[in-house]
Amino acid sequence: MQDRNFDDLADKFSQNIYGTRKGQVRQAILWDELDALLPTLPEGALSVLDAGGGVGQISCGLAARGHQVLLCDLSAEMLKLAEAHAHTEGVSHNMQFKQISAQQVGEHLDRPVDLVLFHAVLEWVAEPEAVLRALWHTLKPGGVLSLMFYNAHALTFRTLQLGNFGYLRANMTKRKKRTLSPDFPRDPQDVNRWLSDAGFEIEQRAGIRVFCDYMKPPPPGVVKSVEEIIEMERRYCRQEPFLSLGRYIHVTARKPR
């Protein structure tokens, strides 16, 4: 097993993840979570590490608010897209880009950071516990990890819903390797344990896309706007049992002071 490098799928990743309704819902809930945690950090410009930052959608938003962001990724192609996006958004002056893994990033930091973003990466790495421990060391005391990961329970539920029992009997082993379907979907209980073992304190959890991935096409003449879907996602994403059905789970985890 090895960590996934997206050089071969960078353009497809950008289009499929952010250029869709699912991407809009994902970003809306992520920003809700960030807007809740940012006031708990020191005032002024924060130091932010976006580990495995991809094309930098969230990073650019933070840079636009005046925060200083280091975006790292294994993929040179992803970094090119991220730099181009930062240039388009006019925030390049608040961003740096380095082609390094999340495990190595601590070796390249001058000092610990206030906030670490680790979004949709944990499901692609072969040794998740080691990565979380490495990220713990990059944070200042009182700093926060914003972690979003692909939920194994949601994948199981969706597979059952589709009647794809053969896939379940094969332990959901992927047949195709060049795909955006994550290599290692994560059990939330495992992730919570890994975070606690690394020294983090979990403060908040939210499901991302707790129902919209399961929606059937509406009847003729009934159109559900993205805004309506986001409204309902916001209503249910922090309450059980809906939280645990989220295609992704977001966890706010703090390094104790």
Q: Which residues contact 96 (CB under 8 A, 6 or more apart)?
A: 69, 70, 71
52 is in an annotated binding site: yes
Is 223 in a helix, a strand, or coil? coil
102 is in an annotated binding site: yes
Q: How far is it between the farthest Cα atoms of the chain?
A: 58
- Residue 49: which of 11, 100, 123, 5 has the closest Cα? 100
26 is in an annotated binding site: yes
133 is in an annotated binding site: no
Strands (E), 79-170: 95-98, 113-119, 139-150
Q: Which residues pair with 70 in a beta bridge?
A: 49, 96
Binding residues: 26, 52-53, 73, 102-103, 119
Q: Which residues are annotated as a binding site for S-adenosyl-L-methionine?
A: 26, 52-53, 73, 102-103, 119
